[in-house]
Amino acid sequence: MLRRLLGPQNRNLWFWVFVGPFAVGLAVFTYVPLGWSVYLSFFDAHNTVTPDRFVGLDNYRAMLRDHAFTGSLATFGVFTAFIVPATFGLSLALALMVNRLTRARAFFRSVFFLPVACSYVVAALIWKMSVFNGVRFGLANTVLGWFGVEQVAWLSAPHPPWYWLVVVSLRLWLQAGFYMVLFLAGLQRIPPQLYEAAAVDGARPGWQVFRHVTFPQLRATSVAVALLLVINAFQAFDEFYTLLSDSRGYPPYARPPLVYLYYTALGQEQNLGLGSAGAVILALVIAVVTVAQARWFGLGRKEG
């Protein structure tokens, strides 16, 4: 019996030796908190994680009637509509340029990928205190001053909402290199024979080859990148909390859902039940959007 459990050459034993610690950590730090969050969403949990008053769906009704929460979802739907195509296009363009290099390809790949290793909080502080500082010493205002443009308070006034430019540029800088590497891997899997056949058929290098050969061959990579971008956009937290948390005069919808839920659950009221209900709603929204996007792209559909 013991020999059967261990498997041939103790393969089952060594499998659990290597996978077991990771599985235990995943269960303790991910699945158990997720399950407990769903449990708390049905209770009146003020200042406690062990509530005793069951409220059913009242927390969900309260969150759906909260204009600040629904506004944050709507605003970040628009944010997603802008950041996803921008990051997708920039990452693909960088991958195409790096892939065409015959020398120093590894160097430029590392240079563009390097921002991925930077912490979101550290990068947000650099953007806030050095690049988009609202005084004349900030890099952005210095460049604008060369052209006679007045100083811009990038993170002070909500109208016009210049903070969106700060957030979008920061996120582009941080994540474009990661998705560039994914596109590079997809480009390197394209058989060279396809380009030779396209040249024989008279396809001109450039747009025609990209449209009819390169981009169709990147379909699987493109779908994966788009899905990851949508999920990451709705999970934005670090940069928004760092850039906007101590600013005055921002409308409620300037905060992403995760920041709003953070203040709901861990703010003055510490309403963990209400915050957990909002987290469940946000997870369902992300799941619905992801599934709809996957169906639209035909993910998992058999070709031919």
Q: What is the pLDDT of residues 41-99, one digit of tens each?
A: 999 888 877 787 888 899 999 998 988 888 888 878 888 888 999 999 999 999 999 98
Rounded distance between C-alpha atoms, residue 37 and residue 45, angstroms: 11
Kindly report the CA angle at 127 between 124 and 132, in degrees rounded to 5? 140
pLDDT of residue 302: 53
Mean model confidence pLDDT for the chain: 82
Give SS3 for 31: helix
Find, among 123, 89, 80, 138, the residue nearest to 257 by Cα.
80
The partner residues of 46 in beta bridges, in order of sequence, read 271
Rounded distance between C-alpha atoms, residue 136 and residue 36, angstroms: 49
Which pTM does this prediction carry? 0.79
CB-CB contact of 120 with 265 (8 Å): no
pLDDT of residue 8: 62
What is the percent of the chain where pLDDT is above 70?
88
Q: Could you report the per-residue pLDDT of 67-79, keeping only the tens digit for each?
A: 888 888 887 888 8
Domain presence at residue 4: no
Reported confidence tier of residue 304, pLDDT bands at 50, 70, 90: very low
> What Å distances lie between residue 138 and 56, 143, 150, CA to CA?
51, 9, 13
Q: Could you report the per-residue pLDDT of 187-208, keeping only the tens digit for each?
A: 988 888 888 888 887 777 778 8
Question: What is the Cα Rg of the chain in Å?
Answer: 24
Domain presence at residue 210: yes
Kindly report the CA angle at 231 between 285 and 291, in degrees rounded to 5? 55
Task: Average the pLDDT over 113-131 and give the result.
Answer: 88
Rounded distance between C-alpha atoms, residue 37 and residue 277, angstroms: 8
Domain presence at residue 109: yes
Domain presence at residue 153: yes
pLDDT of residue 270: 83
Q: Work out the number of other CB atoms within 10 angstroms of the CB of residue 179.
A: 24
Ramachandran angles phi, psi of 61, nearest 5° = -65, -40
Rounded distance between C-alpha atoms, residue 224 and residue 110, angstroms: 22
Element (H, E) at 24: helix 11-26
Ramachandran angles phi, psi of 148, nearest 5° = 75, 15
Domain presence at residue 140: yes
Domain presence at residue 31: no
Domain presence at residue 27: no
Query: DSSP for 181-239?
Result: HHHHHHHHTS-HHHHHHHHHTTPPTTHHHIIIIIHHHTHHHHHHHHHHHHHHHHT--HH
Total structural domains within the chain: 1
CATH number at residue 147: 1.10.3720.10
Ramachandran angles phi, psi of 245, nearest 5° = -65, -35
Rounded distance between C-alpha atoms, residue 280 and residue 157, angstroms: 32
In this predicted structure, the answer to whether residue 28 has a pLDDT above a threshold of 50 is yes
Give SS3 for 43: strand
Domain presence at residue 10: no
Identify the domain containing residue 175 by its residue range. Answer: 57-74+86-297
